[in-house]
Amino acid sequence: MKIKRLISIVACWLALYTASGQIQWKQVEPGVWKGMVGKPEAYSLLGVSGAAPLKEGFKLLPEVGLPAMASGVVSRIEAGKAMLRLPLRKEEQLYGFGLNFQTVHQRGKILNLHVDHYGGKDTGRTHAPVPFYVSSAGYGVFINSARYLTVYAGSAARKDSPEKPVAKDRNTDKSWSSQQYSDAVEILIPAEGVEIYLFAGPTPLDVIRRYNLLCGGGTLPPRWGLGFTQRTQKLYDAVQVEKEAEEFEEKGYPLDFIGLEPGWQSKAYPCSFEWDKGRFPDAEAFVGRMRKKGVRINLWTNPYVSPASGIYKDMYPYSGSHTVWCGIVPDWGMEQARRIWTDKLEKEHITIGVSGYKIDEVDGYDRYIWPDVATFPSGLSAEQLRQTYGLWVQRITADIYKKHNQRTFGLVRASNGGGNSFPYVLYNDYYSHRDFITALVNSGFCGVLWTPEVRSSKSAEDWLRRFQSVVFSPMAMINAWASGTKPWTFPEVAEQVREYALLRMQMIPYWYSEFAKYHFEGTPPFRAMNLEPGFESGRATYKEEVKNKNLEDNPYLEAVGKEVKDQYMAGEYLLVAPMFERETQRTVVLPKGNWYDFYTGEYAGNGEVITVKPGLDRIPVYVKDGAIIPMMEPKLHAPKAGEKINLEIRHYGMAESSYRLYDDDGETFNYENGAYSWRSVTVSRTPEGKLKGNIGRAKKGYPDNIGKVTWRFMTN
Amino acid sequence: MKIKRLISIVACWLALYTASGQIQWKQVEPGVWKGMVGKPEAYSLLGVSGAAPLKEGFKLLPEVGLPAMASGVVSRIEAGKAMLRLPLRKEEQLYGFGLNFQTVHQRGKILNLHVDHYGGKDTGRTHAPVPFYVSSAGYGVFINSARYLTVYAGSAARKDSPEKPVAKDRNTDKSWSSQQYSDAVEILIPAEGVEIYLFAGPTPLDVIRRYNLLCGGGTLPPRWGLGFTQRTQKLYDAVQVEKEAEEFEEKGYPLDFIGLEPGWQSKAYPCSFEWDKGRFPDAEAFVGRMRKKGVRINLWTNPYVSPASGIYKDMYPYSGSHTVWCGIVPDWGMEQARRIWTDKLEKEHITIGVSGYKIDEVDGYDRYIWPDVATFPSGLSAEQLRQTYGLWVQRITADIYKKHNQRTFGLVRASNGGGNSFPYVLYNDYYSHRDFITALVNSGFCGVLWTPEVRSSKSAEDWLRRFQSVVFSPMAMINAWASGTKPWTFPEVAEQVREYALLRMQMIPYWYSEFAKYHFEGTPPFRAMNLEPGFESGRATYKEEVKNKNLEDNPYLEAVGKEVKDQYMAGEYLLVAPMFERETQRTVVLPKGNWYDFYTGEYAGNGEVITVKPGLDRIPVYVKDGAIIPMMEPKLHAPKAGEKINLEIRHYGMAESSYRLYDDDGETFNYENGAYSWRSVTVSRTPEGKLKGNIGRAKKGYPDNIGKVTWRFMTN
C-alpha cells in the first residue's frame, strides 16, 4: 500500500511537472535538442515527411552547446491545449514562421500558421506555414505539430514579466506606442502535447543548416531541373506542345521541360489522372518524342479524384466525408489511399517517362477545400490533413521516383515543416513581382523553395523584369497556362529574354553546386540578406518607425519595420537586386566587404547603400570579393549524365579564394551511395602578384565531365 | 449486478446518442426551441448578457410550429469539439452571422466568428460576430457559445449527400464553378457541447423579432439619445467643451450630448478612470453647468487599468496574466473585478451626472489585446473573455444606470449574441461610407445598433453625404476626437448640415416610437431591404454571377453575389438610399407597393428599380403608401420628461392606415412598470373621399405630452 501511494504521488508530481514548467532538453543531433511537452501526438509534421536526419552534414558544423534561452522555455497544458513560452532578449530579431510574402522581420507579429493560399497579408496563412523560426541571436525553434498554431512572436506582455514595459499616458506622452515591448514568443498548440526542437548556431545560417539537415538536407534537383521550363496553355494537344518545343529550339531559347496544364487529363477539377485521348492519342509515344528533343514532360494535377477516374471506386472508402469540386479527397493517412494513387501515377505517367508533377490546390483555400468539420477514415482530423496534405503528395510522388532511381523536380502549392528534402518548388496564383521576391527571401528561412514565376505581363518592361528575376531562382519558369505567353511574346525584349535564359544555362555548374550544398550541408541556395555576414552593419538599425502619424488613418500608431526584402543572396557569392516595372533606379544594401558588379567585375561598394540605374537590359547582381563562379557554354538543354562541358571560371575582386564544384550523374540517386565528386577550385596570387586559377581533379574513380577550362578574372 | 449492467448499457447508449445524431428540441418561448448538444459549457453568451426573454412581446407574434428543418439538424462531438450540421434547401438565402460590412448574402461564406476590429473583409472577425443567422425560408438559428466558431454557411459538400452536385470537367464545361452546391450549414464549436436555439417565423422579420425578444427585446434609448451628439477633440478642457456647446446653441445646431475623448482622464491607454485635474479642475460643476445648457456628457474610456489608477492595486489580483498597453485586464468573470469597476465609475462619474460611456478597444485587435495564451483568475480562457468582453462592459455599466433608474445611451466597440437590450451603439475606426451603410443593413440581422459616424472629410460633398446618412441611423454623431471637425466646418454645406440635424430632431417622435417597437416587439429600427415584404420581387434573382472571367485574376471563377446593400429601411415606413461622394445619381430598388418621395410626397414607383438624381441637398428617402410619420417642431434639444411638444403628422400616399405612437418619460425605467403609452394615430377617408387624421388619447392616468397637432397629407 505504501508503494502504491508513493507511486501515485510520483505520478501526480510527474503529471503536474509535464503539465506546466520547464522543458527537459535531449540532444538528438549535434546542436539539435528535442523537448517534450505533455503527450505529443503520434501524427506530426516530421512523421508525415518521413525525413531522416542527414547525419553527415552535421559534421561540417561547429560544436555548440545548448542555447542559453533553453532554460527559459516553459510550457503549460490547459483544457486540451499546449501553450509554450520562449524567452526573447531586447536585441533579437526573428525570421521564419513559414513562407511570408511581405515581411522578413517577424518579431511583434501574430500568426496563425495554417496551410492556405496566400491571401495578400502575412497572417500565417500561407502555402508553407512552417512552424520554425530563427533568431538573430543564433538559435532556432521548430514545433513538430500538424495543428493550426497561433504564434505571438514577441507581441504579448505579461503583467508579471521582470522586463515588463512601463505604462505611458497617451494624452501627453509622444513616445506612446500601441505595441508593448514583449520578452517572449508564445505559442498555442491545440493539442495535449507537442515535440519541440531547439537548434544552436552559432550563426543564424548555421541554425538553418541544422534545421535543413535534421529534415534530411535540402533537395538536390536533377541537373535538367535547373534549366528552363515553360508551361503550355491548358488545352494544348500533343501536336501543339511538340510545335512549341520546336519553336524554342528554332528560336534558340533553352528548354528542359514542358509542363502540361489540365487539358492533358480526360477530366480535370476533379481529376481522372488519365490522358485525354483526344488531345494526347498516344501519350507514351509523345513523351518519348519529346524526350528525344531533349524536353521532359511535367504534368499538372490536383489530387481530388473525379468520379470518371478509374480509381474512383477503389479510392472511395479511403476518402474524406467532403468533396472538392465534387471530387473525393484521398485520406493520405490510409496506406491504401497512398497505394492506389501511387499505382495509378506510376502506371499512367512514370513508367512512360513523365518527369514530374505540378500538384495544385493542396494548400486549399477555404472556399473550395474540405471544411474543418470533415472526417476521414484514418481518424485524422480535417485540420491535421490540411496541414500535411502538401507534404503527403510530395512524399508519395517522390517515393515513386526514388523507387525508379530517377530524380524529379516539380511544383507543389503547399508544404510544411519536414518537407525540406522533397524535390518540389512552391508557387501560387498571387502575382506581385515585389512580394514574389520577398517570398524568395523568406523561403530560405523555412526549408522550402519558391519560384517567382513569370506568367504574363501588360508591358514588355514588366515581362523582362520578371524574367530577369526568375532566372535567379530555384525554377526558371514561364507559366502560360492561361495566357499562352512565350518568351518571345514581347518582340522588343525577346533578345534580352533569350540572353537571360541562356545565362541561366551558363550558370548551371554554379546552381548545381549550390544545390548540392543545400542538400549535403543544409545551406539554402536562395536566402535573405540577414543571413549574410557583415549585413547588419550595412543597414541602419533594428528600430522600427511610425510612418503615418495621422491618427485617423493609423489610430494605434503602428510602427512599420525597416526591412531589406527586395534583394537576396543566390548561392554562395551572388547578391541579386531585382528591378520592378516603372523603376529606373533602386538602392542596394551591400554588406561589409568589397562587392563587385557581376557583369563587369567593377568595384561596387563595401558596407554601404548604393543607388544604381542599370537600364532595362540588366538586373543588378553583385559578387563578393574572391567569388569564383563556374559557368559553362550556353546550351539549350542542361548537360546529360556524363556529357562533357567546357567551363569558364570567373573570379571577382582581389582576394585569393576557393570554391567547391559539385558533380554527379545529375539524374539518379546514386549520389546517395557516394557517386559524386567535389572538385576544388582555387584562385591564388603568383609571386608576381597575378591571380591564377587552379581546378582539382574529380574524385578517384569518378568520371571527369569537364572539357576545356577558361579562367576569367573579372576585376582588373 | 444486472441493474448495474443495464445502467451502464443505457449510459453508453445515451453517451453515443448525445455524441452524434439528431437533436431533441424543447420549446422555451413561443416559436423558440432549444437543443442541447453534448455537455454545453456553463459560460455562454446568454449567460454573460444576463438577458431574460421579454415574454410579453411574443404575444404579438403569430403562433408557429417547429420549423421542418429541425429534424434535419445533426450533431457530433469529436476530440473535444462539437460539430453541427443544419440542412439548407436550394432556394434559401442566409443573413446575419454578425456585423458584416461588405456583404448581406451569407450563403456560401466561410466565417470564423471572432470578436475583433473589422479588418476590411467579411471573414467573421468583426465587432459583433453574433452566431445568429436567419434564412429567407423563415427560420433562424442561434449558437449560444462564447467560443471562436467556424461556420461553413452552405459552402461544403459531402460525398454522401443525397443532393450532392455532379462533377464537371473544367477543361471543357463552361458552367464549371469553384463553388460546389452545398445543402447544409456546418459549424465547428471548439467545446464539448453547446446550446442551440431555433426560431420560427413565419417571416424572416418574425424570426429576428423572436431572437431579439429572447434576448430581452431591443434597447429603448433615452429620448435625448436620439438627438444629436458631437465628440470633441481629445485634449479639450472644460472651457473648450463649454464653448463648443455654446457655439452649437448660437449657430442653431442641435446638441443633446457631448462625448469627451481620452483627455478627460488623468491617464489614458491604459486608463485611470479619473478626471484630469488640469483640464477638468471641477468635473462635477462642469457636468452640472453643461446639463443646464441641455447638454449631457458622455465619457470615452477603455477598460484597461493604468498603474496610476486608484483601483489598480485592488484590481490586480482579479486581472489576467497579460497587459494591454501596460494596463491590467480586469477579469469580468470575477465578481470582485466587476464590483471594483462599478464602484469607481459610479463614484467618479455617474453620481455627478455623467450620462454614459463610449467604451473603446473591447473588440481587440490581435496586435494589442491579450493573447489567446493569457490566463485569467476566474479560470475562463482568453478566448471566452475575448468573445464576451464587449458584453461584459455593456452589462456592468448598464447595471449601474439601471440601479439609478436612469437610462443611458453610449457607444461600444464590441458586442455579441445576447447584447440586444444593452443601450449601446457599435462603431469602429474603419471609415468607408459605403461599408458603413452595409453594416447598418446587417446590424438589423444580429440584434445590434450601428452608427455610420461622421468623422472628417476631404470635401464638403463627402461631409454632407455622410452627415445625411448618419441622421438616418441609431446615433446621429460627429466623432471629432482626432480632427476637431464641427458641423459647420465646411461653410459651403453648413446650412444643409443644419437642416438635416434639425430634421433628425423633428423626427424624434418617429424614431422614439420605432425604438419602442424594437424594445417591446423586437423589430429592428434599421434593417435590410430583404426583410421588407414585396422586396424579393423587386430584384432579379438569388442567382450569383461570375463578373471577372479572366483566369489569371480569378482562377477559381468565383461568383459575386447580387445584393442590395446600399439602401435600408429606417423604422416602419422609410426607405433610405444614401448618396456617396462623387456620385450624382443612383438606383433605388423599390419593393412592391406604392412608394412616395419623403420630401415631396410625390409618387416614386412600385416594385421597380428607379434611378434618381437628388442633387447635393438631398439624401433620397422613400415612404410606403399609407405611411404616417409623426414629427415635432425643430428643437435644439430632445424633449425632456413631461415637456409638451407640438406634432406635425405626415401621411404619404393614398392608403388609409394607422400608426402607434409611443411615449413615456424618456429618461427612466418606469416604462418597465407600465408607465408608458401607445397612442393610436389613424388616417381614414371621409365619405367624400378626403383623407382625415385622428389621434387617440394617451393611456389613462398617463400625462398627455402632446400640444398642437397638425396634419399634413403629403401626397395630392
For residue B241, the distance in angstroms to the closest alpha carbon of chain A comes to 17
Chain B residues in contact with A262 by the CB 8 A cut-off are 170-171
- The verdict on a CB contact (< 8 Å) between A156 and B328 is no
Do residues A308 and A346 share a domain? yes
Q: What is the per-residue pLDDT for B131? A: 98
How many residues are given for chain A? Answer: 716
Cβ contacts below 8 Å, chain A against chain B, sum to 203
For residue A474, the distance in angstroms to the closest alpha carbon of chain B comes to 23
Q: What is the per-residue pLDDT for A373? A: 97
- The verdict on a CB contact (< 8 Å) between B552 and A482 is yes
Rg of chain A taking only CA atoms, in angstroms: 26
Interval B545-567: pLDDT, tens = 566 667 777 777 665 557 899 99
Chain-centre distance of CA A492, in angstroms? 33
Residues of chain A with pLDDT under 70: 1-20, 536-549, 557-561
- Which residue, among B73, B323, B331, B560, would best test binding to A if mutated, counting the most A CBs under 10 Å from its CB? B323
Instruction: State the pairing for strand pair A327-330/A424-426.
Output: unpaired
Q: Which of A519, A548, A567 is the last residue before a domain boundary?
A: A519
Do residues B207 and B105 share a domain? yes
Instruction: State the pairing for strand pair B645-651/B149-153.
Output: unpaired
DSSP SS3 for B515 = helix
Cα separation, B434 vs B430, whole angstroms: 11
- The verdict on a CB contact (< 8 Å) between B158 and A322 is yes
Is residue A472 included in any domain, yes or no? Answer: yes
For chain B, what percent of residues have pLDDT higher than 70? 94
Write out the residue range of the structural domain in which residue B572 sits.
528-623
User: CA A99 → CA A129, A433, A695, B78, B300, distances in Å?
Assistant: 6, 15, 38, 31, 41
Do residues A9 and A100 share a domain? yes
For residue A458, the distance in angstroms to the closest alpha carbon of chain B comes to 12
Do residues B614 and B635 share a domain? no
Chain-centre distance of CA A458, in angstroms? 28
Find the CATH number of the domain harbouring B279: 3.20.20.80
Is residue B618 included in any domain, yes or no? Answer: yes
Chain B residue closest to A163 (CA)? B326
Is residue A42 included in any domain, yes or no? Answer: yes
Do residues A461 and A535 share a domain? no
- The verdict on a CB contact (< 8 Å) between B367 and A558 is yes
> Which of B163, B46, B105, B675 has the alpha carbon at shortest distance from B417?
B46
Chain A residues in contact with B235 by the CB 8 A cut-off are 171
- The verdict on a CB contact (< 8 Å) between B456 and A552 is yes
Instruction: State the pairing for strand pair B228-231/B257-260.
Output: parallel
Q: Which of A599, A623, A647 is the last residue before a domain boundary?
A: A623
The DSSP 8-state label assigned to residue A347 in this structure reads: I
For residue A117, the distance in angstroms to the closest alpha carbon of chain B comes to 12
Asked if omega into A377 is within 30° of 0 (cis), the reply is no
Interval B287-305: pLDDT, tens = 999 999 999 999 999 999 9
Chain B residue closest to A264 (CA)? B171
The DSSP 8-state label assigned to residue A545 in this structure reads: B
In the block, which residue shows the cell 491618427? Answer: A551
DSSP percent split of chain B into helix, strand, coil, nearest 5: 25, 25, 45
Q: Which residues, other chains included, contact B615 with Cβ-Cβ below 8 Å and sequence gap of 6+?
A: none
Q: What is the per-residue pLDDT for A15? A: 46
pTM, 2 dp: 0.94
Is residue B218 included in any domain, yes or no? Answer: no
Q: What is the per-residue pLDDT for B52? A: 96
Is residue A218 included in any domain, yes or no? Answer: no
For chain B, what percent of residues have pLDDT higher than 90? 89
Which of A157, A266, A323 comes nearest B322 by C-beta? A157
User: Which residue spans within A365-454 are E strands per DSSP?
Assistant: 410-412, 424-426
Chain B residues in contact with A372 by the CB 8 A cut-off are 150, 188
Partners of B32 in the beta sheet?
A: B29, B199
pLDDT for residue B20 is more than 80: no
Q: What is the per-residue pLDDT for B546? A: 60
- The verdict on a CB contact (< 8 Å) between A326 and B456 is no
Do residues B577 and B473 share a domain? no
How many structural domains are present in chain B?
4
Which of A167, A328, A368 comes nearest B307 by C-beta? A167
Do residues B610 and B634 share a domain? no
- Mean per-residue pLDDT, B629-656: 97
Do residues B63 and B200 share a domain? yes
Which of B262, B321, B373 comes nearest A170 by C-beta? B262
The answer to whether A511 and A631 are in contact (CB under 8 A) is no
Which of B234, B263, B371 comes nearest A152 by C-beta? B371
Is residue A55 included in any domain, yes or no? Answer: yes
- The verdict on a CB contact (< 8 Å) between B110 and A555 is no
Which of A155, A267, A322 comes nearest B157 by C-beta? A322
Would you state the cell numbers that stand for residue B198, as one nine-digit string?
Answer: 431555433
pLDDT for residue B510 is more than 60: yes
- The verdict on a CB contact (< 8 Å) between A267 and B169 is yes
- The verdict on a CB contact (< 8 Å) between B372 and A150 is yes
The DSSP 8-state label assigned to residue B530 in this structure reads: G
Chain A residue closest to B234 (CA)? A171
Q: Is A537 exposed, middle or buried (0-12, 13-18, 19+ CB in 10 A)?
A: exposed
Q: Element (H or E) spanning A713, and its range?
A: strand A706-713
- The verdict on a CB contact (< 8 Å) between A170 and B268 is yes
Cα separation, B451 vs B424, whole angstroms: 10
pLDDT for residue B468 is more than 70: yes
Find the CATH number of the domain harbouring B595: 2.60.40.1180
Chain A residues in contact with B377 by the CB 8 A cut-off are none
Which of A110, A165, A262 comes nearest B170 by C-beta? A262
For residue B370, the distance in angstroms to the closest alpha carbon of chain A comes to 7
Interval B312-363: pLDDT, tens = 999 999 999 999 999 999 999 999 999 999 999 999 999 999 999 999 999 9
Do residues B167 and B310 share a domain? no
Chain A residues in contact with B456 by the CB 8 A cut-off are 552
Q: What is the per-residue pLDDT for A346? A: 98
Q: Element (H or E) spanning A574, and its range?
A: strand A574-576
Q: What is the per-residue pLDDT for A171? A: 95
For residue B365, the distance in angstroms to the closest alpha carbon of chain A comes to 10
Q: Which of B213, B237, B270 is the last residue before a domain boundary?
A: B213
The ipTM estimated for the assembled molecules is: 0.92
> Which of B384, B518, B532 has the alpha carbon at shortest distance from B449?
B518
- The verdict on a CB contact (< 8 Å) between A186 and B381 is no
Which of B170, B306, B323 comes nearest A269 by C-beta? B170
- Mean per-residue pLDDT, B526-538: 83
Is residue B244 included in any domain, yes or no? Answer: yes
Interval B56-84: pLDDT, tens = 999 999 999 999 999 999 999 999 999 99
Do residues B171 and B232 share a domain? no
The answer to whether A669 and A402 are in contact (CB under 8 A) is yes
The answer to whether A491 and A481 are in contact (CB under 8 A) is no
- The verdict on a CB contact (< 8 Å) between A276 and B326 is no
DSSP SS3 for B455 = coil
Do residues A260 and A199 share a domain? no
User: What are φ and ψ of residue A407, in 5° steps?
Assistant: -80, 155
Half-sphere exposure of B310 (CA within 13 A, CB side): 12
Is residue A161 included in any domain, yes or no? Answer: yes
Which of A321, A367, A483 comes nearest B158 by C-beta? A321
- Which residue, among A125, A169, A466, would best test binding to B if mutated, counting the most B CBs under 10 Å from its CB? A169
Q: What is the per-residue pLDDT for B559? A: 57
Do residues B545 and B571 share a domain? yes
For residue B367, the distance in angstroms to the closest alpha carbon of chain A comes to 7
